[in-house]
Amino acid sequence: MVNRKIIMTEKAKTKVDELRDALKKRKEVEEANVDSEDATVEENSLEGELNAAREEAKEHYDKLLRVMADFDNFRRRNEKEKKEAIKFANEELIQELLTVMDHMDQALSHIKQSDSAEAKNLALGVELVVKQLASTLEKYGLKPVDAVGQVFDAKLHEALQMVDAEDVAPGTVVAQHRRGYLLGDRLLRPALVDVVREK
């Protein structure tokens, strides 16, 4: 009987050990599942943070592109304004010189009315000075406005009076009292003209 008890005890002990091992394995599996769930939650959290960081990086990149485009536009606009400023920096000086040229033209027309040799020589000298001054101003972009014989253009001409004229189309400029000028493509001053009236 003792033998039988020992065998039973050993069988029971073996069974208990098997159950203990099974419980231990089950506990390990449950812990592994809990760790796996924690890892999945943490992985999902990290993916969310990564997506948020990617979205933020995309927004910053878009802002950077806009700022770069704005800066490029600013640089181009600034360059254009600088060129315009340089081009028209001498405008005031040229305006003053035009007044001098007007006076010289008036003096020349009065001198030419005289028949004396002295007056003719003086007229030649004044003509040379006027041509040289006009040539110098042309180098800086000054261009005279065509007036006589042209159709009146309010952008280039200023009508002083309307006149009657035979065989000339209405709206045609027939006389110029003061020459007009362009500086580059911009009107510096309009030509003062007489225009043929509508019939």
**pLDDT(33) > 70:** no
Count how many domains the chain has: 3
**Which of 119, 139, 159 is a domain's end point?**
139
Token digits of residue 21: 């091992």
Q: pLDDT-based confidence at 29, cuts 50/70/90? A: confident
CB 173 within 8 A of CB 138: no
pLDDT at 2: 45
Q: Is the pLDDT higher at 37 or at 194? A: 194
Per residue in 42-77, pLDDT (tens digit) is 778 778 888 888 899 899 999 999 999 999 999 999
pLDDT at 108: 87
**pLDDT(37) > 70:** no
Q: pLDDT-based confidence at 10, cuts 50/70/90? A: low
Kindly list the distances between the CA atom of residue 9 and the CA atoms of 2, 13, 89, 154, 165, in Å, as whole numbers in the listed order: 10, 6, 116, 126, 145
Token digits of residue 171: 């709206």
CB 158 within 8 A of CB 193: yes
pLDDT at 90: 80
Kindly list the distances between the CA atom of residue 63 and the CA atoms of 6, 31, 185, 186, in Å, as whole numbers in the listed order: 84, 48, 39, 39
pLDDT at 158: 92
Using a pLDDT cut of 70, give the percent of the chain over it: 88
Whether residue 105 is found in the same domain as residue 123: yes
Question: Got the DSSP string for 34-94?
Answer: HHHHHHHHHHHHHHHHHHHHHHHHHHHHHHHHHHHHHHHHHHHHHHHHHHHHHHTTTHHHH
Q: What domain range includes position 191?
A: 141-199
CATH number for position 194 = 2.30.22.10
**pLDDT(197) > 60:** yes
**Which of 122, 139, 156 is a domain's end point?**
139
